[in-house]
């Protein structure tokens, strides 16, 4: 019998109910804070974006961001929201000041949605506006007004203060990771020279824009001084390092487009064209761009992004009557980069030498690559190393952004994960024993070593992470010495040959419980001794305590709890001040005495803390 379809079937959701039922439309994924693009960071960004727009208008040179556990506060010193419109701006969709203002034609948040999403998705949302000696304050919970105060006098400087606490019912077991927040704030100041942002009292400030950004993100000395150029609506910075892969930071109207888009594609294309024309030689694209570290920022009128979170530019034109994005960027780089190379022959010579070295290495391993690709192709067809997921075959509900691959070792562990996983979004790659220590080796080893060749093929990262088949690359090993060693070897491999995989926040460590504590009614899984002790206290007398020694010992039925919606992932984060080369040299190189001393010293510290 067909379902009834009548007037009663049609209903209209109010704004807050729509946002809470479909949060992905407004902030992308929810997440728990372990990924840099999880929803709690998008909420923070939506609030800060409004403060940045005030700075862009020339008003308010500082923004204060305070985060205490899960409580967030953002205070700017702009003009302040007109007091009579404070409720509307906070809780009425498509309400804002940017629709008719020429000053905001190159702004990001044009649709009047962002701050309403923060309101609807927060347990507590408090907004205060200070304007010309007067103050207005309104309190909300999940989009509903809980208290509205009358306008009153104030000694506060003009501006807006927003305090919010993301809803635990939606963002389960979440936490803010300070490194992700610092990266967000640094990008704001790089793109807004003269702005100061204070995060829990620490000041972030930039005088030199993208030049500062690249200097901040360099892990080793660049091959040549950073090329830094700017024009109307565009700024670029370029150099080459010694790492494998390509590293880009792209922005549109102050928005960090982590997934690139039309502007980044045009930028990469223009660099290749300009270099080929300058040297009058048809260099291979990969030889020019290997080891590049570059950034581009453009301003576009009424930009079109491919999602509400604005991480990928879709606009083909700079504005309604402007040139195409591709032609605009190509013309700027063709002219300015060519002129720079002519005026700086010493840098042109270093770049030429770098391209020739890349060409030499590429040709040296071209034969091995061809054989390795054939081997990987056959292996995917005939062995069980990769148990793929269905997301790549156009399932309706899931997208690539939901996909994960677990890299594990041993038949029992991979078997447990395979039986427990969500076959739509979760794949499993099974290692055979401990992988090779790749520190100090050339990329030739990636193709000669069967395990790494097959892993590279499974991830589809040979030509860069644009083709990455899984959003989350999860290292799933036992929580013992051997498991830790395998983690280190895999992370070494990624940092050595595919560092942008780590820098872009795709690599995680799977956290699995160390203990199961249960009585006849309740079962608790504990990830630390502290959690175990708390569970024992809560469950009372003589609960059954099981210590899990390895992934293979956890039954598939239990494993479902650890890789489902309550999965705990620890992101692999490279701090900006850490040098990849120095770190790998210390931990994975042949400096045995120094490393032994380090281990002994830290073991003693840990022992003292326990005692």
Residues 349 and 408 in one domain: no
Tell me what pLDDT residue 607 has.
Answer: 42
Phi, psi of 115 (to 5 degrees): -70, -25
- The H or E element spanning position 466 is none
Q: Percentage of the chain surpassing pLDDT 90?
A: 44
- In this prediction, residue 3 has a pLDDT band, given cuts at 50, 70 and 90, of low
- Residue 505 sits in a domain whose CATH number is 3.40.50.670
| DSSP code at position 539 | H
Report residue 80 as tokens. Answer: 């302040």
Confirm if 26 and 117 have CB atoms less than 8 A apart.
yes
| DSSP code at position 365 | T
Residues 261 and 308 in one domain: yes
Domain boundary (364, 393, 424) is at 364
pLDDT tens digit sequence for 29-75: 888 898 888 899 999 999 998 899 889 888 989 999 999 999 999 99
Residue 591 placed within a domain? no
Residues 316 and 327 in one domain: yes
Residues 336 and 415 in one domain: no
Tell me what pLDDT residue 415 has.
Answer: 83
258 has a pLDDT exceeding 60: yes
Distances (CA, A) of 134 to 83, 104, 128: 8, 26, 10
Residue 68 placed within a domain? yes
Confirm if 325 and 316 have CB atoms less than 8 A apart.
yes
**Backbone region of residue 294 per phi and psi (left: phi > 0; alpha: psi in -120 to 50; beta: other values):** beta
Task: Give the Cα separation of 154 and 515 in Å (integer).
Answer: 55
Residue 600 placed within a domain? no
10 has a pLDDT exceeding 60: no
Confirm if 459 and 376 have CB atoms less than 8 A apart.
no
How many separate domains does the chain show?
4
pLDDT tens digit sequence for 543-557: 999 988 777 777 888
Q: What angle do CA 192, 259, 193 make, to 5 degrees?
A: 5
Q: Percentage of the chain surpassing pLDDT 70?
A: 86
Residue the block writes with tokens 């790492």: 243
As a whole number, mean pLDDT of residues 65-90 equals: 94
Tell me what pLDDT residue 586 has.
Answer: 58
560 has a pLDDT exceeding 90: no
Tell me what pLDDT residue 70 has.
Answer: 94
576 has a pLDDT exceeding 80: no
Task: Give the Cα separation of 117 and 39 in Å (integer).
Answer: 11
Residues 122 and 162 in one domain: yes
95 has a pLDDT exceeding 80: no
Residue 595 placed within a domain? no
Q: Which of these, 499, 577, 579, 582, lies nearest to 186 by C-alpha position?
A: 577
Residue 437 placed within a domain? yes
pTM greater than 0.85 (yes/no):
no
Domain boundary (313, 339, 364) is at 364
185 has a pLDDT exceeding 60: yes
Residue 6 placed within a domain? no
Residue 583 placed within a domain? no
Residues 569 and 423 in one domain: yes
Residues 530 and 571 in one domain: no
Residues 277 and 393 in one domain: no
Residues 255 and 353 in one domain: yes
pLDDT tens digit sequence for 312-349: 888 888 888 888 999 999 999 999 999 999 999 999 99
As a whole number, mean pLDDT of residues 505-525 equals: 89
Q: Is 234 exposed, middle or buried (0-12, 13-18, 19+ CB in 10 A)?
A: buried
Residues 197 and 160 in one domain: yes
Residue 271 placed within a domain? yes
Q: Residue 316 is part of which domain span?
A: 210-364
Residues 177 and 76 in one domain: yes
Residues 288 and 306 in one domain: yes
Confirm if 36 and 180 have CB atoms less than 8 A apart.
yes
Q: Kindly give the pairing relationship between strand 134-141 and strand 144-148.
A: antiparallel
């Amino acid at each position: 019998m067909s379902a009834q379809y009548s007037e009663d079937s049609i209903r209209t959701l109010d704004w807050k109910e729509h946002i809470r039922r479909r949060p992905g439309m407004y902030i992308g994924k929810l997440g728990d804070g372990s990924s840099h693009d999880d929803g709690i960071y998008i909420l923070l960004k939506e609030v800060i974006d409004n403060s940045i727009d005030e700075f862009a208008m020339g008003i308010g040179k500082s923004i204060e961001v305070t985060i205490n556990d899960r409580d967030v506060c953002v205070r700017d010193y702009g003009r302040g929201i007109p007091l009579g419109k404070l409720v509307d701006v906070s809780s009425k969709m498509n309400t804002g000041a940017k629709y008719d203002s020429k000053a905001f034609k190159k702004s990001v948040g044009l649709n009047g949605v962002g701050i309403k999403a923060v309101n609807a998705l927060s347990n507590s949302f408090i907004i205060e506006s200070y304007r010309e000696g007067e103050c207005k304050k309104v309190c909300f919970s999940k989009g509903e007004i809980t208290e509205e105060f009358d306008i009153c006098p104030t000694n506060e400087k003009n501006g807006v203060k927003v305090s919010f606490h993301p809803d635990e019912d939606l963002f389960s077991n979440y936490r803010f990771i300070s490194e992700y927040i610092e990266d967000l704030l640094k990008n704001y100041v790089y793109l807004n020279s003269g702005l100061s942002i204070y995060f829990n009292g620490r000041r972030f400030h930039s005088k030199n824009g993208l030049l500062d950004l690249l200097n901040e993100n360099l892990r080793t000395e660049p091959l040549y001084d950073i090329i830094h150029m700017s024009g109307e609506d565009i700024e670029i910075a370029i150099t080459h390092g010694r790492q494998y892969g390509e590293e880009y930071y792209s922005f549109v109207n102050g928005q960090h487009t982590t997934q690139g888009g039309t502007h980044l594609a045009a930028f990469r294309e223009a660099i290749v064209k300009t270099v080929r024309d300058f040297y009058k030689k048809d260099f291979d694209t990969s030889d020019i761009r290997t080891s590049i570290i570059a950034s581009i920022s453009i301003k576009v009128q009424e930009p079109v992004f491919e999602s509400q979170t604005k991480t990928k530019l879709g606009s083909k034109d700079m504005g309604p009557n402007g040139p195409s994005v591709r032609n605009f960027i190509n013309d700027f780089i063709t002219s300015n980069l060519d002129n720079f190379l002519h005026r700086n022959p010493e840098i042109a010579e270093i770049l030429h030498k770098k391209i020739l070295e890349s060409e030499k290495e590429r040709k040296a391993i071209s034969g091995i690559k061809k054989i390795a690709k054939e081997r990987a192709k056959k292996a995917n067809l005939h062995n069980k190393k990769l148990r793929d997921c269905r997301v790549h075959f156009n399932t309706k509900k899931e997208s690539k952004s939901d996909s994960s691959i677990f890299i594990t070792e041993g038949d029992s562990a991979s078997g447990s994960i395979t039986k427990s996983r969500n076959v739509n979004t979760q794949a499993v790659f099974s290692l055979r024993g401990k992988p090779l220590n790749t520190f100090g080796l050339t990329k030739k080893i990636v193709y000669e070593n069967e395990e790494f060749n097959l892993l590279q093929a499974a991830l589809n990262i040979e030509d860069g992470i644009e083709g990455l088949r899984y959003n989350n690359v999860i290292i799933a090993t036992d929580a013992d010495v051997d498991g830790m060693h395998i983690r280190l070897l895999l992370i070494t491999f990624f940092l050595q040959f595919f560092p942008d995989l780590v820098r872009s926040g795709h690599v995680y460590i799977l956290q699995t419980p160390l203990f199961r504590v249960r009585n006849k009614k309740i079962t608790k899984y504990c990830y630390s001794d502290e959690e175990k002790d708390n569970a024992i206290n809560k469950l009372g007398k003589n609960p059954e305590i099981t210590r899990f020694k390895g992934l293979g010992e956890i039954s598939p039925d239990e494993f479902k709890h650890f890789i489902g919606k309550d999965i705990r992932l620890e992101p692999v984060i490279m701090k900006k001040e850490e040098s990849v080369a120095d770190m790998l040299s210390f931990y994975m190189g042949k400096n045995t005495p120094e490393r032994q001393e380090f281990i002994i010293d830290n073991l003693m510290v840990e022992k003292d803390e326990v005692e």
